[in-house]
Amino acid sequence: MGRTSEARERLLDAACDLMRGRGYGAIGVAEICERADVRKGSFYHFFDSKQTLTVEALRAAWADDGAMWREVLGADSGPFRRLKRLVEAQAEAQQRSKREVGAVRGCLYGNLTLELGNQDEVVHGCLKEIFDEQVDLVHQVLLEAHAGGDLVAERATRASARAVLAQVEGMVLFAKLDNDPALLDGLWPQIAGLLGVA
Amino acid sequence: MGRTSEARERLLDAACDLMRGRGYGAIGVAEICERADVRKGSFYHFFDSKQTLTVEALRAAWADDGAMWREVLGADSGPFRRLKRLVEAQAEAQQRSKREVGAVRGCLYGNLTLELGNQDEVVHGCLKEIFDEQVDLVHQVLLEAHAGGDLVAERATRASARAVLAQVEGMVLFAKLDNDPALLDGLWPQIAGLLGVA
């Protein structure tokens, strides 16, 4: 039992790691098995297809990332301080990637969204759920800022939360393009500008 | 001669069109040839590889798009009016895509940037050139706005121009995720906020 669930975990980790670096289309089941040190026959014991594995891998990644988001955004400090901390954590993730593998690999969810669009309905549906939850979490903080008198009502919207995350995703794209996480240093002032709270 | 150059053009158009919808990894030479109605043998008469074709296709796409950017940003009106027009043109491109093929396909350059990262040095170098030119074009308009007294010096920077384009790319990502170009309706107020010119 222990070994079995370990093999499954290794497949999920390997898929995440490979896709973070090279996307969906460029990665095959054989390569995922090799990286995970699992035989191809065993792969199909756990997953129907690369698609099924990808959805599970995305969910596992967001289980970790989302827990961090909730912890940071639920901390005991002012709403903008928490939002700033979340934005800094995104920049730190790209710095870590550069340090560890030599490349700013970007955001796994953003990478797959732009690569796949709605070509693959199942993966696309999973990405939509993850981003919807991200938008909800940021929206919640904006509502708190509004309740505390720190944000006007028209900026405490879901659209505004999406705009904040769009700035993060867009700047991560440029950081990946230039392979330079320092491009993310200016993210918080940009987002404060977007929210009109400079 | 006429037929030859037509076949080459058809290959470039087919590559652009297919990659706009489905990215780089998912598209093969055979499919590009089929879409272009060109024999595979002829493909290799024009291009060494899918990589070579992709770089030429990106350059051809940016030759068209860049001409539009220059026209819009060089128009005879205030700098922010021109920038607003450029942003609206990006939204219109996604509306057109939705109307014509039923899908918000996003930005070809952004899609390939997030899919490929620096996996493919040659394609990556080409994308970098295109985005560098985009940033330069927007930076030029910000400098004009500053010269006219409409923008503070610290916002009339290359970093600021990049942040403007990041907001466009990020919102296009969400429009692609939701297959809804209406998400781009709020782009200009967001960018005005980023620039502190609300």
- Write the secondary structure of B149-160 as one string of H (helix), E (strand) and C (coil): CCCCHHHCCHHH
Label each residue of chain B as H, E or C: CHHHHHHHHHHHHHHHHHHHHHCCCCCCHHHHHHHHCCCHHHHHHHCCCHHHHHHHHHHHHHHHHHHHHHHHHCCCCCHHHHHHHHHHHHHHHHHHHHHHHCCCCCCHHHHHHHHHCCCCHHHHHHHHHHHHHHHHHHHHHHHHHHHCCCCCHHHCCHHHHHHHHHHHHHHHHHHHHCCCHHHHHHHHHHHHHHHCCC
Predicted confidence (pLDDT) at residue B32 exceeds the cutoff of 90: yes
Q: How do residues A45-70 score in pLDDT, each as one tens digit?
A: 999 999 999 999 999 999 999 999 99
Of A48, A20, A45, A56, nearest to A35 (Cα)?
Answer: A20
Predicted confidence (pLDDT) at residue B68 exceeds the cutoff of 90: yes
Residue B36 lies inside a defined structural domain of this protein: no
Tokens read off for B149:
């007294």
Which residues are CB-neighbours of A132 under 8 A, at least 6 positions away?
none
Among B104, B115, B171, the residue with its CB nearest the CB of A115 is: B115
CB pair distance less than 8 Å for A103 and B118: yes
Of A177, A172, A196, nearest to A80 (Cα)?
Answer: A196
Per the structure, the complete domain to which residue B110 belongs is given by 50-195
Among A106, A119, A170, the residue with its CB nearest the CB of B170 is: A170
Count of domains in chain B? 1
Nearest CA distance, B157 vs chain A (angstrom): 12
Residue pair B109/B131 in contact by the 8 Å Cβ criterion:
yes
Residue pairs spanning A and B at CB distance below 8 A: 144
Q: Could you give the CA distance from residue A148 to residue A144 in angstroms, rounded to a whole number?
A: 6
Looking at residue A17, its pLDDT comes to 93
| Residue numbers of A between 67 and 106 with CB closer than 8 Å to B | 103-106
Predicted confidence (pLDDT) at residue A158 exceeds the cutoff of 60: yes
Looking at residue B118, its pLDDT comes to 84
Does the beta carbon of A192 lie under 8 angstroms from any beta carbon of chain B? no
Q: Could you give the CA distance from residue B163 to residue B83 in angstroms, rounded to a whole number?
A: 13
What average pLDDT does the segment A140-163 reach?
A: 97
Which residues are CB-neighbours of A129 under 8 A, at least 6 positions away?
none
Looking at residue B5, its pLDDT comes to 76
Nearest CA distance, B3 vs chain A (angstrom): 34
Helix axes A50-73, A121-147, angle to 10 degrees: 10
What average pLDDT does the segment B129-139 reach?
A: 98
Residue B39 lies inside a defined structural domain of this protein: no
For A47-60, letters b (16+ CB in 10 Å) and e give beebeebbbbbbee
Predicted confidence (pLDDT) at residue A155 exceeds the cutoff of 50: yes
Residue type, B25: G
CB atoms within 10 A of CB A74: 11
Nearest CA distance, B106 vs chain A (angstrom): 7
Q: How do residues A95-134 score in pLDDT, each as one tens digit?
A: 999 999 999 999 999 999 999 988 899 999 999 999 999 9
Residue pair B174/B107 in contact by the 8 Å Cβ criterion:
no
Q: How do residues A161-178 score in pLDDT, each as one tens digit?
A: 999 999 999 999 999 999
Interface residue of A50, A177, A188 to substitute, partner B, most B CBs within 10 Å: A177
Looking at residue B1, its pLDDT comes to 42
Residue pair B130/B58 in contact by the 8 Å Cβ criterion:
yes
Please list every residue in chain A whose beta carbon sits closer than 8 Å to the beta carbon of residue B24. 25
Predicted confidence (pLDDT) at residue B25 exceeds the cutoff of 50: yes
- Provide the mean pLDDT of chain A: 95
Predicted confidence (pLDDT) at residue B198 exceeds the cutoff of 80: no
Q: How do residues A13-34 score in pLDDT, each as one tens digit?
A: 999 999 998 999 999 999 999 9
Task: Kindly state the percentage of chain A with pLDDT values over 90.
Answer: 93
Looking at residue A1, its pLDDT comes to 42
Residue A148 lies inside a defined structural domain of this protein: yes
Q: Could you give the CA distance from residue A184 to residue A174 in angstroms, rounded to a whole number?
A: 9
Among B115, B177, B196, the residue with its CB nearest the CB of A131 is: B177
Q: Calculate the alpha carbon distances from B105 to A64, B11, B93, B95, B101 in Å.
A: 29, 20, 9, 10, 9
Residue B185 lies inside a defined structural domain of this protein: yes
Q: Based on the number of CB atoms within 10 Å of its own CB, is B3 exposed (0-12), middle (13-18) or buried (19 or more)?
A: exposed
Q: Could you give the CA distance from residue B167 to residue B84 in angstroms, rounded to a whole number?
A: 13
Q: How do residues B165-187 score in pLDDT, each as one tens digit?
A: 999 999 999 999 999 999 999 99
Among B24, B117, B162, the residue with its CB nearest the CB of A176 is: B117
Nearest CA in chain A to B102: A118
Residue pair B198/B189 in contact by the 8 Å Cβ criterion:
yes
Which pLDDT band, with edges at 50, 70 and 90, does A4 fall under?
low
Residue A23 lies inside a defined structural domain of this protein: no
Of B196, B193, B192, B157, nearest to B80 (Cα)?
Answer: B192
Q: How do residues B77-132 score in pLDDT, each as one tens digit?
A: 999 999 999 999 999 999 999 999 999 999 999 999 999 988 899 999 999 999 99
Residue pair B142/B155 in contact by the 8 Å Cβ criterion:
yes
Label each residue of B110-137 as H, E or C: HHHHHHHCCCCHHHHHHHHHHHHHHHHH
Assign residue B65 the CATH number of its domain: 1.10.357.10
Nearest CA distance, A149 vs chain B (angstrom): 19
